[in-house]
Amino acid sequence: MTGALAAGSIGAAWFTGASLADEPGVVEFSETEVSRILSHGPWPMPWSPDKSNRVSGNAHAADLGERLFFDEKLSVKGNVSCGTCHIAEYNWTDGVKRNSGQTLVDRNTPTLMNMRHHRWFALDGAADSLWGQSMRPIVDPRELASNAAHVAQYVRKDADLACRYEKTFGVSPARQDDEAVLVGVGKVMAAFQETLVTDVTPFDQFRDALARGDHAAASLYPRDARRGLKIFIGKGNCSTCHTGPMFTNGEFHDIGVSHFIDGDSKKVDAGRFEGIKKLLSSKFNLLGPYNDDPARAGAVKTTHVKAEHRNFGEFKVPSLRNVGYTGPYMHSGEIVTLDQVVRHYSELNVDRLHADGESILRPLKLSQRESADLVAFLQSLNMDRAPPWRGKEYALPPCTLDGKAAVEDNYAAP
Ligand code: HEC
Ligand code: HEC
């Protein structure tokens, strides 16, 4: 394997050079460490459209999905859109512990960045596709509190939306039943969210420099971040769950965050345990009639899940890309800063992990400096600025059904 060979030679060349080793505070990485670091890239990751969604990767779909994402008229009261809680300038979350649609929801709003690389959706994995997940807040009484009839009527009656819908799917929404239009709306919203991808970060530049064996470029990565990285992949065990270029294994774990909502012992968030039940009972999962992939390859994982006791209190491992912009943290939003997240892992109360507890986790007892270094590393996973947003200046001109499409149907995936 060329990757492993490169890692080995770089490890030796980079870290045994006398001039570097003489420098005070230089962080040495072993060959194993270098190959672990390389496993967190390259970024961006390759991506191909979602086969379960026939308009995934389609420019008309992404454009229509973007309009609907910000459209409060999808909610029956005309007061809430997806953009109420997923705000671009906040890295597609909202900066608050928990937000309200019609009423307060139980969980912290996760970012929508890099959604196209996830395998389960919602923090409890209640959906197995991005389009399936995108339909859930539309009909949730706490969020948009809408329904298939309202959504379908709205899309049919608005001439511009109806035109865009037909251009995307090749069929007028007037010729589909309400439920099919609701699914169509979920699919175009997914196509839009698939375009939200984070940029290259200081960590990626360091990682790529290591891969190239470029000392000069690698030395630009701050010392404290390097020391923090060493903890992350080493004694911190962080990369056991926060793996790969996304810094998540895409699965569910219990890390001892409270299972009670608002500290009320009667309001329990069972996490993955309930999520699996919701997933399996949904008509809109990948085993259902709306999966567009004739081979149904993506549905295999869904046939394998079953709610077991150990799933109680498990939540999805979040990606750590742009983590500096996604606070407050955890499914409950109960941890405010990254310093406090690190303290959580450092002082971990193992009694709070449930019976089948996580053998990987133990209190790390980090020194103040180690904690600060780990935070410096986490901050190096941020893009250097909050993601820019072009507002409501849509890419495509007013819709007309005659004449050629304004842009190529499919945009190129990076
Ligand atoms: C009231 C605030 C609110 C509104 C409005 C809202 N969301 Fe969310 N969103 C959340 C919360 C909270 C979660 C976590 C849900 C869970 O774990 O069950 C979430 C989760 C998601 C996820 C899954 C993220 C992940 O990491 O798996 C997607 C995708 C998503 N929302 C898209 C949307 C779309 C599309 C809309 C509009 C139709 C929308 N959201 C409206 C708060 C909101
Ligand atoms: C056993 C798997 C596991 C290990 C090991 C682990 N994490 Fe996590 N991490 C999770 C899970 C699961 C969550 C989300 C928990 C929740 O929402 O209640 C999380 C959440 C986080 C968050 C909050 C992200 C957000 O957007 O809310 C940060 C930051 C984080 N971890 C960093 C670390 C660091 C640093 C380490 C090493 C000291 C580490 N993790 C070790 C599984 C793990």
Over residues 142-174, the pLDDT tens digits come to 999 999 999 999 999 999 999 999 999 999 999
**Residue located nearest, by CA, to atom 34 of ligand 2:** 238
Lowest mean pLDDT among 249-253, 276-280, 384-388: 384-388
Q: What is the DSSP letter of 397?
A: P
pLDDT category, 258, cuts 50, 70, 90?
Answer: confident
Nearest CA-CA partner of 167 in 412, 409, 392: 409
Closest ligand to Cα 103: 1
How confident is the model at residue 261, as a pLDDT?
86
- CA–CA distance, 92 with 197 (Å, rounded to integer): 11
Computed over every residue of the chain, the mean pLDDT equals: 89
How confident is the model at residue 393, as a pLDDT?
57
Closest ligand to Cα 254: 2
Nearest CA-CA partner of 166 in 155, 178, 182: 155
Task: Give the distance (Å) from ligand 2 centre to CA of residue 231.
Answer: 14
How confident is the model at residue 139, as a pLDDT?
97
Please list, in sequence order, all residues whose beta carbon lies within 8 angstroms of the beta carbon of residue 230, skipping any fewer than 6 positions away.
27, 29, 33
Residue type, position 164, single letter: R
pLDDT category, 358, cuts 50, 70, 90?
Answer: low
Task: Give the distance (Å) from ligand 1 centre to CA of residue 87.
Answer: 11
pTM for the whole structure: 0.92
**Residue located nearest, by CA, to atom 42 of ligand 1:** 109
Most confident of 83-92, 242-251, 254-263, 356-365: 242-251
Atom of ligand 2 nearest to the CA of 240: 5
Please tell me if the CB atom of residue 238 comes closer than 6 angstroms to any atom of ligand 2.
yes
CA distances to 273, 280, 306, 350 from 309, rounded to whole Å, are 7, 16, 10, 18
Task: Give the distance (Å) from ligand 2 centre to CA of residue 247.
Answer: 10
Number of C-alpha atoms within 13 angstroms, CB side, residue 194? 32
- 126 and 46 in contact (C-beta within 8 Å)? no
Closest ligand to Cα 339: 2
**Residue located nearest, by CA, to atom 13 of ligand 1:** 109
How confident is the model at residue 404, as a pLDDT?
46
Residue in this structure with the two tokens 């926060």, named with its chain if needed: 242
Residue type, position 79, single letter: N
235-244 average pLDDT score: 96
- 312 and 355 in contact (C-beta within 8 Å)? no
Tell me the β-bridge partners of 314: 271
**Which secondary-structure segment (H or E) carries 342?**
helix 338-346
How confident is the model at residue 227, as a pLDDT?
96
Choose one of 259, 345, 382 to mutate for the ligand 2 pocket test, by most ligand atoms within 8 angstroms of C-beta: 345
- CA–CA distance, 111 with 201 (Å, rounded to integer): 17
How confident is the model at residue 12, as a pLDDT?
40
- 374 and 232 in contact (C-beta within 8 Å)? yes
How confident is the model at residue 79, as a pLDDT?
96
- 245 and 198 in contact (C-beta within 8 Å)? no
311-322 average pLDDT score: 96
The rounded percent of the chain whose pLDDT value lies above 90 is 78
367-371 average pLDDT score: 97
Higher pLDDT, 1 or 145: 145
Task: Give the distance (Å) from ligand 2 centre to CA of residue 334.
Answer: 13
Lowest mean pLDDT among 13-22, 79-88, 302-311: 13-22
- CA–CA distance, 308 with 183 (Å, rounded to integer): 30
Q: Answer yes or no: is pLDDT of 264 > 80.
A: no
Residues with CB under 6 A from ligand 1: 69, 80, 82, 84-86, 99-101, 105, 107, 109-110, 112, 115, 118, 121-124, 126, 130, 133-134, 137-138, 143-144, 189, 193
Task: Give the distance (Å) from ligand 1 centre to CA of residue 122.
Answer: 7
Q: Answer yes or no: is pLDDT of 400 > 80.
A: yes
Buried b (16+ CB within 10 A) or exposed e, 215-233: eeebbebbebbbbbbbbbb
How confident is the model at residue 388, as a pLDDT?
60
Helices (H) and strands (E) in the chain, counts: 15, 4
**pLDDT tens digits, residue range 170-223?**
999 999 999 999 999 999 999 999 999 999 999 999 999 999 999 899 999 999
Choose one of 66, 71, 109 to mutate for the ligand 1 pocket test, by most ligand atoms within 8 angstroms of C-beta: 109
Task: Give the distance (Å) from ligand 2 centre to CA of residue 332.
Answer: 13
* Token pair of 70 as six digits: 């910000």
How confident is the model at residue 260, as a pLDDT?
87
Task: Give the distance (Å) from ligand 1 centre to CA of residue 278.
Answer: 15
Q: Is 63 exposed, middle or buried (0-12, 13-18, 19+ CB in 10 A)?
A: buried
Q: How many CB atoms lie within 10 A of CB 177?
A: 12
Q: Answer yes or no: is pLDDT of 413 > 90.
A: no
**Residue located nearest, by CA, to atom 20 of ligand 1:** 122
**Residue located nearest, by CA, to atom 2 of ligand 1:** 85
Q: Answer yes or no: is pLDDT of 245 > 50.
A: yes
Q: Answer yes or no: is pLDDT of 11 > 70.
A: no
54-82 average pLDDT score: 96
How confident is the model at residue 7, as a pLDDT?
40
